[in-house]
A and B are shown apart, each in its own frame.
Chain A
Amino acid sequence: MDYEKIKLTFTKVHVYRDADDDGSGNWYFIAKVDGLPVGDHNQIFNAEEGRSIPLPEGQWETTINVRGRELNSNPVIVRFQVKDSDFISDEDLGTTERRLFMDMRQGYFDTRTDRNRYFRVHYKVELMVMGQFGFHPPDAVFATRQHFGSLSCTTVSGTSFMARMEICPILPIPADASLPPRPRIADHLRARNIIRHDGIEVTPNDPINVISNPSAIPILDPADANANTAARIEFTYYHPRTLHFTDDDPRLEWSIDPIQPSVPAGGLVRGDARFLGPGSTPDGRNSRGTRVLVYGTAEGEIRLEMRFQGTLFATYRALVLPVRQIRYRANILNGPGSSQPRSRPGHVRDHIAIANRFLRQMAIELVPDNDATVSNGARPTEFPGIFRIIVSRGVTREIPLGGWTRAIKLNYREGVLNIAYVHSARPTRRGRSGPLGAADSWLANGAGDRIRDTGKPSTSWIRPSGIPPDGDPVEQVMILLDAREEDPARFPRLFGMYITNQSGDPDFPGNQLTYGSTIAHELGHVLNLNHREAGGLDGLNNPPNQNIMHPDEGADLAQDFDIIQTRAVHQSRLVQP
C-alpha cells in the first residue's frame, strides 16, 4: 500500500542578493532529501536580485516512502544548497536544512539562508492519501492498522486514534449493554450513531425495502433491482465522529465475500450478490460509502466486508434468497349488531402491505390467493384475497382460548394462509385486554424442532458475536414450534391466524402499524417461530426487545427478523418452494 509516502517538490528560489558585483548571478542548486540528490545541479539559472527563479516542474521533486519509519527519531532531512558559478571558483551562498518529523505538515514552505540572506528556497510537501498526492485535511486518516476490536488510525497531522465501525443487523438497535463491547474511547472521540434506537413508522406506501440491514438479501433480476427493491445495508455506529463519513465516501470500500454456508441443510450453496447504485463498480463487485444497495444473484450465504483505506473495518453477514411467496386469504367475519371487526377490506390490504415490509427482511412475501373457490358463504370484496363472511356472534366475538377457533377454518384452502378478522378474543386474564391476534394452526417445520446457525457474525449478534473484541461465535440453536393441528384429517394443511379489534381504530395510522406488525408476528408463529426475548422460548436471548417475535413489545420497537429465523421460515411447509 502506498499511502505512507510523502512528495517533496522544490518550487522556486527567491533571490535577495545575487552575490555578483556586476550584473546577475549564475546560480546552481544542490538539493538533497535524505541524502539523495534531487534535481539537476548542472543546470545554471540566472539570478536577479529581487526576483524568483522558478524550478522546472517534474525535475525538482522526490517521493519518500515513510512506511514503518519512526519519523520522530529518524526525520526526513531536506537540504538545499546554492552556489554562484564563477570563472575562478564557485561561491557557496549557503545551505538550508529542514527536518520533517512525525507531525508531517503539508503545504508550501520556505527556508531562508542565514548567510547574508542571499536566497529563500520554496518547496511543498504533499502526502499520498487514497493513492493521490495532495494537500489533505489535517484530520484526514492516512494510515490504518487493525487492532483487537478497533482500527488504529493515524491522521495526516500525525494524530493517532482508535476508530470503529458497526453495521448492526438488529434494527432498531438495542441498548449498548446488549451489543458486543466497544473498546473504550476518549471523550473527544465521540461516536456517531445515525440510526435510531426507535423503530420506524412503516406505512403501506413505503418502498418494500424500507427496513435496512435485513437478514436476507433478495435475489432479483438485474432489471428489477433498484433503490426501492434491493437490500439496504447501512452503518449503525462509528467513532470518532470527526471522520465525517459520507453516504458515498470513497474511503469506505465494500466487497462481497461468498461464504460456505454454515449449515448445509436446505441446499444452500455459496451465495453471491451485486452492489448497485452510484457508488458501485460496473461489475457490481464493489461499492463505497456508509450505505450500499445489494441484490442477490445466487442463493446461499455471503459476508459483506467494508474496508477503510484497505483495512477491514466492519462485516455484515446475510443469506441470499429468492423472495418466496405465501398465498393468503383474509376473511372479515361480520357478526350481528356490534360484533363487527373494525377493519374494512381496504384496511386489510394495507395491513398486509405493512406486514410485507417486515417480512421482506426474510425474503418472504404475502400474495393474495388467486383461486376463486369460496366456502362458508364467503363473498369476495374489491380486493383479491379479501372476503367477507356473515357469521354468528360466537364465531367472531370473545372467541375462546385453549381450544380450537372456528374462525380460522372458514373459507380456508389447503396450504393457503387463512387470516380471520374477528371482533375480539377472550383475555388471558380477567380485567385485561384480549389479544391483538393469535396464530392458531400450522404444520411442523421442514427443519424439525430445532435449527442451527454458526456464521460469523452471529445471528442477532448473540455473544460471542464475532464482532471484535468478542471472540468467534459458537453454534446457535433455535427451538422451533411444533405442529399445532386440530384434526389433520378434517382440516388438512390448515394454516391460520386471527386478528382482533384490539389494535384499535384502523383509520388511525399508528394502529395500522400495529395491525400489520401483528400479522407479521403471528405469521412468524405459523412459520414455526417461537417467541424471542431474554430467556424466551426459542432458546436464544438477543435482542432483548427488538425482534418481531418478542411476545409483548410494541410495533414501534419490535421490528427485526434475524438470520436463524430466516433460515427456519424458508423451510416452512407454507412457503412456496
Chain B
Amino acid sequence: MRYLPLILLLMGLSLLQTRTQPQAAWSFYPKTKEVRMAQTEPSKEEQRALATEALALAKSFRPEDHSLLLQKLKSEEFLKKLDSEKAYEGSSNRLRLRYILQILSKNPSPSARSTLVALTQTPDFYKESARADLLIDACAEVRPAPPEVIKFWNDHSQPDDGFTHLTIDAVVENGSEPAIALLEKKMADMKHDEEDKLSWMRSSILTHRNDLVLLQACERMLGGSLSEDLRLSLVEVLFDYRPEWFPPSVVLKPPDRGQASPQALAQLRKIGEFALNKMNLKEDLRKKVEKTLEEIKEKR
C-alpha cells in the first residue's frame, strides 16, 4: 500500500501523456505551436530593450557579463520574449538571437568562448531547431574546436537530420584539426548519402580549398575509403570549378588561388601529383590538374 501514491502518480502521468498525443494522424504542426501561441507576445520595445542589453553583454570582455548572458540564454522565458513565436516560423537569420550569438562568436575573450561552449551543453537551448542552426554556425569561430563543440556538431550531423549541411559548413569554416577530423569521419560514414557528400565537397570544401588543414585531410581522404566517384569528385573540386554544378540562383565560387599560402600550394601539388599518378582521371580532369600544377609552379 505504501506504493499506492506512486502508482496513482504514474497513472496520472500516463493519462496526461495520452492527452498530449496528436489527435489526428495527419497533423503537420506540432502541438507545442498551439501552446506557444497562447502566450502573451511582448511588445517590440520590450524585445528591443532585451536585445540591446544582451548585445552589450555579448560585446563585453568581462567574464561576469558573459555569465549573466549565459543565464539569460538558458532561460526559456528570455528567449521567448526576445523572439516571438512568429519570428521562429521564419528564417533563423531573422531572429534577434542571431546577432547576440554572432557578436559573442566574434568576441575573442575566453569567457565569450566558454559561453558558446556552455550553450552546446544546454539541450533546452537548442531544442528549437532555429537556435540549433545559430549555435552550429556561431561555434565555427571557436578555434580550436573543443570536444564539447565537436560532440555538438557530431550530434547535429546525423543522416537526414536537417542540420548536417549547415554543420559541415561550420566545421570546414572552423578549419581546426579536431573539426577537420570530424569532417573526415563524416565523409567516411556510410550512413550519409553519396549525394550529400558530393554537395559538401562542392560547397564547403570548394569554398575553402586554399586551407592547409583541409587539404591535408583531402589527401588522406583520397587515399582512404571514399568511393571512386567521390574521389574523382574531390579531385575535381580541388582542381576544377564549374558554375553548372550549382542551380543558377545559388552559385558558389572558390577562393582566389593567389591567396593560398605556400604550404597550402605545396599540399595541393602533392595531391595533384597523387591524382595524376595514382588515379584514373578522365582526360579533361587530367588537363585541369596539370594546368593547376603549372600555375602553382609559376607562383612558387
Contacts and interface: CB of A to CB of B under 8 A. Distances in A.
Contact of A522 (B86, B130, B199, B249): B249
Interface in A430-484: 430-440, 481-482, 484
Secondary structure dominating the interface of B: helix
Contact of A439 (B88, B91, B245, B248): B248
A525 interface: yes
Contacts of B165: 398-401, 426
- Classify chain B: how many residues form its interface, as a range: 35 or more
Interface stretch (A74-82, A249-257, A334-342, A355-363): A334-342
B162 interface: yes
A432 B137 CA distance: 11
B243 to A, nearest CB: 8
Contacts of B26: 379
Interface string A177-194: 000000000000000000
B169 interface: yes
A482 B242 CA distance: 12
Interface string B159-184: 11111111001100100000000000
Interface residues of A, number: 54
Contacts of B173: 430
B45 interface: no
Interface stretch (A90-98, A281-289, A500-508): A500-508
Nearest to A403: B199
Contact of A401 (B129, B164, B203): B203
A244 B137 CA distance: 61
Nearest to B127: A337
A432 B93 contact: yes
Interface in A134-167: none
Interface stretch (A51-59, A221-229, A388-396): A388-396
A406 B195 contact: yes
A531 interface: yes
Contacts of A267: none
Contact of A402 (B30, B89, B162, B203): B203
A443 B21 CA distance: 46
Of A423, A427, A437, A481, most buried by chain B (CB within 10 Å of CB) is A427
Contact of A388 (B28, B29, B137, B198): B28
Contacts of A402: 198-199, 201-203, 206, 245-246, 252
B235 to A, nearest CB: 16
A226 B29 CA distance: 44
A309 interface: no
Contact of B90 (A427, A435, A436, A505): A505
Nearest to A525: B248
Contacts of A212: none
A432 B94 CA distance: 10
Interface string A513-549: 0000000011001000011000001000000000000
A531 B160 contact: no
A491 interface: no
B283 interface: no
Of B28, B30, B195, B206, most buried by chain A (CB within 10 Å of CB) is B28
25 contacts: A392-B162, A393-B160, A393-B162, A395-B160, A397-B129, A398-B133, A398-B163, A398-B164, A400-B165, A401-B199, A402-B198, A402-B201, A402-B206, A403-B203, A404-B198, A427-B93, A430-B140, A430-B169, A431-B93, A481-B248, A484-B244, A501-B90, A505-B89, A521-B249, A525-B249
Given A339-B129, A392-B160, 17 more contacts: A338-B130, A340-B29, A394-B160, A394-B162, A401-B199, A401-B203, A401-B246, A404-B198, A404-B199, A430-B169, A431-B102, A432-B93, A436-B249, A501-B90, A505-B89, A521-B249, A525-B247
Contact of B195 (A403, A425, A482): A403
A442 B150 CA distance: 39
